[in-house]
Amino acid sequence: MQMFKRLLWVVLLIVFVSGCAKSPVESLESVRDIVAHAYAAGATQFAPGEFQLASSALRAAELQVESGDFRRADRTLELARRYAGESLSLTIERKKQRAAEQKEIAEEKRLVEIARERELKRQSDLKDQREREKRLAEIEENKKAEKAKDVPKSLPAVVAPVLLNHIEVRVGDDLAIIAARPEVYDDMLLWPLIYKANRDQIKDPKEIFSGQILVIPRDRSRDESEAARQEARELELF
Protein backbone atom coordinates (compact mmCIF):
# COMPACT_ATOMS: atom_id res chain seq x y z
CA MET A 1 0.00 0.00 0.00
CA GLN A 2 2.79 2.39 0.93
CA MET A 3 4.66 1.54 -2.28
CA PHE A 4 1.48 2.16 -4.34
CA LYS A 5 1.12 5.61 -2.84
CA ARG A 6 4.75 6.38 -3.69
CA LEU A 7 4.23 5.28 -7.32
CA LEU A 8 1.08 7.42 -7.52
CA TRP A 9 3.00 10.49 -6.35
CA VAL A 10 5.73 9.82 -8.91
CA VAL A 11 3.14 9.55 -11.73
CA LEU A 12 1.42 12.77 -10.64
CA LEU A 13 4.77 14.54 -10.47
CA ILE A 14 5.68 13.35 -14.00
CA VAL A 15 2.30 14.49 -15.34
CA PHE A 16 2.71 17.90 -13.66
CA VAL A 17 6.25 18.38 -14.98
CA SER A 18 5.18 17.31 -18.46
CA GLY A 19 2.31 19.77 -18.34
CA CYS A 20 4.66 22.57 -17.35
CA ALA A 21 7.06 21.65 -20.13
CA LYS A 22 4.27 22.04 -22.66
CA SER A 23 3.32 25.53 -21.44
CA PRO A 24 3.54 27.94 -24.48
CA VAL A 25 5.41 30.58 -22.53
CA GLU A 26 7.96 31.24 -25.27
CA SER A 27 5.26 31.49 -27.93
CA LEU A 28 3.32 33.84 -25.68
CA GLU A 29 6.30 36.17 -25.28
CA SER A 30 6.97 36.06 -29.03
CA VAL A 31 3.39 37.04 -29.88
CA ARG A 32 3.46 39.78 -27.24
CA ASP A 33 6.55 41.21 -28.96
CA ILE A 34 4.85 41.18 -32.37
CA VAL A 35 1.73 42.88 -31.00
CA ALA A 36 3.86 45.48 -29.20
CA HIS A 37 5.83 46.13 -32.38
CA ALA A 38 2.60 46.57 -34.37
CA TYR A 39 1.32 48.99 -31.73
CA ALA A 40 4.55 51.02 -31.80
CA ALA A 41 4.39 51.16 -35.62
CA GLY A 42 0.91 52.73 -35.45
CA ALA A 43 -1.35 49.75 -36.13
CA THR A 44 -4.13 51.23 -33.98
CA GLN A 45 -4.36 54.02 -36.56
CA PHE A 46 -3.52 52.27 -39.82
CA ALA A 47 -4.91 48.75 -39.22
CA PRO A 48 -7.29 49.04 -36.23
CA GLY A 49 -9.45 46.00 -37.10
CA GLU A 50 -6.59 43.54 -37.46
CA PHE A 51 -4.81 44.94 -34.41
CA GLN A 52 -7.95 44.59 -32.28
CA LEU A 53 -8.29 40.95 -33.34
CA ALA A 54 -4.62 40.33 -32.48
CA SER A 55 -4.99 41.99 -29.08
CA SER A 56 -8.18 40.05 -28.28
CA ALA A 57 -6.61 36.74 -29.31
CA LEU A 58 -3.50 37.48 -27.23
CA ARG A 59 -5.58 38.26 -24.18
CA ALA A 60 -7.61 35.07 -24.65
CA ALA A 61 -4.39 33.05 -24.97
CA GLU A 62 -3.04 34.59 -21.76
CA LEU A 63 -6.19 33.55 -19.90
CA GLN A 64 -5.99 30.04 -21.37
CA VAL A 65 -2.37 29.74 -20.25
CA GLU A 66 -3.32 30.91 -16.77
CA SER A 67 -6.05 28.25 -16.62
CA GLY A 68 -3.70 25.53 -17.93
CA ASP A 69 -5.53 25.01 -21.23
CA PHE A 70 -2.33 24.93 -23.23
CA ARG A 71 -3.69 23.27 -26.37
CA ARG A 72 -6.30 25.97 -26.89
CA ALA A 73 -3.69 28.57 -25.95
CA ASP A 74 -1.42 27.32 -28.76
CA ARG A 75 -4.21 27.66 -31.34
CA THR A 76 -5.23 31.07 -30.01
CA LEU A 77 -1.63 32.26 -30.07
CA GLU A 78 -1.34 31.28 -33.73
CA LEU A 79 -4.39 33.42 -34.45
CA ALA A 80 -2.91 36.28 -32.47
CA ARG A 81 0.39 35.90 -34.33
CA ARG A 82 -1.36 35.92 -37.72
CA TYR A 83 -3.51 38.97 -36.96
CA ALA A 84 -0.56 40.83 -35.43
CA GLY A 85 1.53 40.12 -38.54
CA GLU A 86 -1.30 41.29 -40.81
CA SER A 87 -1.78 44.48 -38.80
CA LEU A 88 1.96 45.21 -38.96
CA SER A 89 2.13 44.57 -42.73
CA LEU A 90 -0.93 46.73 -43.39
CA THR A 91 0.47 49.48 -41.19
CA ILE A 92 3.76 49.57 -43.11
CA GLU A 93 1.96 49.52 -46.47
CA ARG A 94 -0.55 52.20 -45.52
CA LYS A 95 2.11 54.44 -44.01
CA LYS A 96 4.06 54.24 -47.28
CA GLN A 97 0.87 55.08 -49.18
CA ARG A 98 0.18 58.07 -46.93
CA ALA A 99 3.78 59.27 -47.30
CA ALA A 100 3.43 59.07 -51.08
CA GLU A 101 0.15 60.99 -50.95
CA GLN A 102 1.67 63.65 -48.71
CA LYS A 103 4.64 63.94 -51.08
CA GLU A 104 2.26 64.38 -54.01
CA ILE A 105 0.29 67.03 -52.11
CA ALA A 106 3.53 68.83 -51.19
CA GLU A 107 4.60 68.78 -54.86
CA GLU A 108 1.24 70.21 -55.93
CA LYS A 109 1.58 72.97 -53.32
CA ARG A 110 5.12 73.69 -54.55
CA LEU A 111 3.94 73.99 -58.15
CA VAL A 112 1.07 76.26 -57.09
CA GLU A 113 3.52 78.44 -55.15
CA ILE A 114 5.86 78.64 -58.16
CA ALA A 115 2.94 79.63 -60.39
CA ARG A 116 1.87 82.27 -57.86
CA GLU A 117 5.39 83.71 -57.64
CA ARG A 118 5.64 83.82 -61.43
CA GLU A 119 2.32 85.63 -61.66
CA LEU A 120 3.43 88.14 -59.03
CA LYS A 121 6.68 88.65 -60.95
CA ARG A 122 4.74 89.12 -64.20
CA GLN A 123 2.47 91.69 -62.57
CA SER A 124 5.48 93.47 -61.05
CA ASP A 125 7.26 93.56 -64.42
CA LEU A 126 4.09 94.85 -66.08
CA LYS A 127 3.79 97.56 -63.46
CA ASP A 128 7.45 98.55 -63.97
CA GLN A 129 6.94 98.61 -67.73
CA ARG A 130 3.91 100.88 -67.41
CA GLU A 131 5.82 103.17 -65.05
CA ARG A 132 8.72 103.30 -67.48
CA GLU A 133 6.44 104.12 -70.41
CA LYS A 134 4.83 106.83 -68.30
CA ARG A 135 8.21 108.36 -67.47
CA LEU A 136 9.30 108.29 -71.12
CA ALA A 137 6.01 109.89 -72.14
CA GLU A 138 6.58 112.63 -69.55
CA ILE A 139 10.05 113.25 -70.97
CA GLU A 140 8.63 113.54 -74.48
CA GLU A 141 5.88 115.87 -73.30
CA ASN A 142 8.43 118.05 -71.56
CA LYS A 143 10.46 118.21 -74.76
CA LYS A 144 7.40 119.24 -76.75
CA ALA A 145 6.46 121.82 -74.13
CA GLU A 146 9.94 123.32 -74.25
CA LYS A 147 9.84 123.56 -78.01
CA ALA A 148 6.37 125.14 -77.94
CA LYS A 149 7.38 127.96 -75.63
CA ASP A 150 7.64 131.45 -77.08
CA VAL A 151 11.32 132.37 -77.06
CA PRO A 152 12.26 136.11 -77.03
CA LYS A 153 13.95 137.25 -80.26
CA SER A 154 16.98 138.39 -78.35
CA LEU A 155 17.60 134.82 -77.15
CA PRO A 156 18.60 131.76 -79.18
CA ALA A 157 15.70 129.73 -80.54
CA VAL A 158 16.75 126.70 -78.50
CA VAL A 159 18.31 126.83 -75.06
CA ALA A 160 20.61 123.87 -74.68
CA PRO A 161 20.19 122.02 -71.36
CA VAL A 162 23.05 121.94 -68.91
CA LEU A 163 24.73 118.61 -69.43
CA LEU A 164 25.34 116.55 -66.29
CA ASN A 165 28.43 114.53 -65.51
CA HIS A 166 26.73 112.77 -62.60
CA ILE A 167 23.08 112.01 -61.97
CA GLU A 168 21.13 110.62 -59.03
CA VAL A 169 18.78 107.72 -59.71
CA ARG A 170 15.17 108.48 -58.86
CA VAL A 171 12.31 106.11 -58.06
CA GLY A 172 11.06 104.45 -61.25
CA ASP A 173 14.21 105.24 -63.25
CA ASP A 174 16.02 102.79 -65.48
CA LEU A 175 19.11 103.32 -67.64
CA ALA A 176 17.08 104.05 -70.77
CA ILE A 177 14.98 106.69 -68.99
CA ILE A 178 18.12 108.34 -67.63
CA ALA A 179 19.81 108.29 -71.06
CA ALA A 180 16.69 109.86 -72.63
CA ARG A 181 16.85 112.96 -70.43
CA PRO A 182 17.98 116.10 -72.28
CA GLU A 183 20.57 116.87 -69.62
CA VAL A 184 22.10 113.40 -70.13
CA TYR A 185 22.10 112.18 -73.77
CA ASP A 186 18.57 112.93 -75.03
CA ASP A 187 18.72 109.44 -76.53
CA MET A 188 17.45 106.35 -74.68
CA LEU A 189 19.52 104.03 -76.91
CA LEU A 190 22.76 105.35 -75.38
CA TRP A 191 22.10 103.63 -72.04
CA PRO A 192 24.96 101.09 -72.61
CA LEU A 193 27.44 103.98 -72.19
CA ILE A 194 26.11 104.66 -68.68
CA TYR A 195 26.11 100.96 -67.81
CA LYS A 196 29.73 100.43 -68.88
CA ALA A 197 30.90 103.54 -67.02
CA ASN A 198 29.30 102.34 -63.77
CA ARG A 199 30.08 98.62 -63.75
CA ASP A 200 31.51 99.00 -60.26
CA GLN A 201 28.02 99.58 -58.85
CA ILE A 202 25.71 98.08 -61.52
CA LYS A 203 25.75 94.28 -61.80
CA ASP A 204 22.60 93.95 -63.90
CA PRO A 205 21.64 96.77 -66.31
CA LYS A 206 17.96 96.23 -65.42
CA GLU A 207 18.61 96.71 -61.69
CA ILE A 208 19.49 100.19 -60.49
CA PHE A 209 18.36 101.69 -57.23
CA SER A 210 17.03 104.99 -56.03
CA GLY A 211 19.78 107.14 -54.56
CA GLN A 212 22.65 105.77 -56.66
CA ILE A 213 24.96 108.41 -58.15
CA LEU A 214 25.89 107.41 -61.68
CA VAL A 215 28.73 108.76 -63.80
CA ILE A 216 27.70 110.16 -67.21
CA PRO A 217 30.66 109.70 -69.60
CA ARG A 218 31.13 112.64 -71.96
CA ASP A 219 34.32 111.78 -73.86
CA ARG A 220 32.62 109.44 -76.33
CA SER A 221 33.26 109.28 -80.04
CA ARG A 222 30.64 109.03 -82.75
CA ASP A 223 31.61 105.40 -83.34
CA GLU A 224 31.21 104.58 -79.64
CA SER A 225 27.78 106.20 -79.62
CA GLU A 226 26.67 104.27 -82.68
CA ALA A 227 28.02 101.03 -81.21
CA ALA A 228 26.04 101.69 -78.03
CA ARG A 229 22.84 102.28 -80.04
CA GLN A 230 23.39 99.06 -81.97
CA GLU A 231 23.97 97.14 -78.74
CA ALA A 232 20.78 98.58 -77.20
CA ARG A 233 18.75 97.55 -80.27
CA GLU A 234 20.11 94.02 -80.14
CA LEU A 235 19.63 93.51 -76.40
CA GLU A 236 16.10 95.01 -76.27
CA LEU A 237 16.25 95.26 -72.47
CA PHE A 238 14.18 98.42 -72.32
- pLDDT (tens digit, 0 to 9) for every residue of the chain, 238 residues total? 443 333 333 323 333 333 343 457 788 898 999 999 999 999 999 999 999 999 999 999 999 999 989 999 999 999 999 999 999 899 999 999 999 999 989 999 999 999 999 988 899 888 888 888 888 888 888 888 877 765 555 545 556 788 889 999 998 899 999 999 999 999 999 999 999 999 999 989 989 999 999 999 988 888 889 999 999 898 888 8
- Asked whether the beta carbons of 185 and 193 are under 8 A apart, the reply is yes
Which helix (H) or strand (E) covers residue 110, if one does? helix 70-148
Q: Taking the domains of the chain in order of start, what are their residue ranges?
A: 24-128, 166-235
Domain 166-235 adopts which CATH fold? Membrane-bound Lytic Murein Transglycosylase D; Chain A (3.10.350)
How many CB atoms lie under 10 A from the CB of residue 163?
12
pTM score, whole prediction: 0.44
How many CB atoms lie under 10 A from the CB of residue 237?
15
- Asked whether the beta carbons of 30 and 54 are under 8 A apart, the reply is no
